[in-house]
Structure 1
Amino acid sequence: MNNALILIIEDEPEIAEIIGTYLSREGFRTITAGDGTVGLAHHLRLRPDLVVLDIKLPGQDGYDVLAAIRRRGETPVIMVTALAEDLDKLQALRIGADDYVVKPFNPLEIVARVKAVLRRTMGRGSGQMLRVGALTIDPQAYRVAVDSAAGPVTLDLTRTEFRILAHMAASPGKVFERSELVDACLPESEALDRTVDSHVSNLRRKLAGVGADGLLTGVRGVGYRLDDVHG
């Protein structure tokens, strides 16, 4: 883990240097970017193991950069910002941040947070099997099985239905907004929120058909949740 590559996207050179120095002392490799455009280019080319991301950046702000990273995959992201309002923190977490640190901070805290997030997320995007309640999801084989009294039953899902289910299964119990599911699961399309409703409706019907109708539920005015309920 200590050889992990950390991308630091921070427009204040002194802060970027401090973070990089402390991470390097712990054996991490680091690279820095002073704005979101360069940061996203580094992310695409270098595929870092974790991103330390400032919110207030020139051009694209940190929220936009975080959303772009999430459309690409599940790279862990720690937000570092002077904004301490709960709404700012919730916004970052809603988009998909893994942690959040407020300036001014102790650099040792950044190191500790990086280590904690890497421990928690290592292997998250490696194609490992996901299990939520009665569901077993194989990301590599694009296969979903539901436990039943007679044994596992394989669901016949479209590619988009699978993407939605697998994305939600990575964070069971979390409420996903429709727009978030569009960004994560249909990034190349012109999909609208109602398109997600259609895919989720089909998913719920297929789950109900094998006795797993209580797993995927709607949250009025917000979106959808996949509950870790054992049937």
Structure 2
Amino acid sequence: MEVDKDEINLETLFSGSIKNPFTYNLNLKESSFENCSVLFEEIKQIFVQGLLYNTDDSNILETDGKKTLLIDKIPNKDINIIKQYMLSMGIELTHKQYDDEDKDYYIRGLLYELQNKYSDKVNLKVEMDWITQLISKVHITIGEKVVKEVNAVIRKHKEVNFVLKLLKPENIEECYLSYYKQDEPKILNIIYFKGANISDYQYQHKYATPFTKHVR
């Protein structure tokens, strides 16, 4: 990581004050960009290190000098703090939560689209709770001739992939960290990353001046 010509480490970054978006240039190995899963793991480790410096000790397990983050105990406010630190490196962190009704809503959205477009080429089966009528499991059988088309539709429904893990990721935004918290065992937490768009933070980034602030 570089700030102009001076390098700083993660401890210095996460222990200091939060800077404006795009203050730091994040240097990663070129090989990391050849595989989205590898890139995700590197960025995830930065996220984890940030939490280790900014969460309560009760959320960290230390064994033989090694610290392990207990992600299922981390409060949302700590994640929001790290979100701002990550943005200072040009990385946008998204944290979403889904209850059973949310999951059902997104699953049905996919199933309705597949039904309308490929009713004679796909077989759709679901398991649901009889009382709540909420879908819990889905089995999709795709006709050989439309596999590519159907997979493209499935990939478009990102939230369904978070819930059901139907397809392997093809880019960094499709890689994610999923977990359930101890105090909210029915809420699925999803965290994923992408490169932030500097135009979304025009009034905040390090290049902003009194003149550029009025330019859109």
When the two structures are superposed, what TM-score results if normalisation uses the length of structure 2?
Answer: 0.26
When the two structures are superposed, what TM-score results if normalisation uses the length of structure 1?
Answer: 0.25
Higher relative contact order (CA 8 A, sep 6+): 2
Bigger radius of gyration among the two = 2
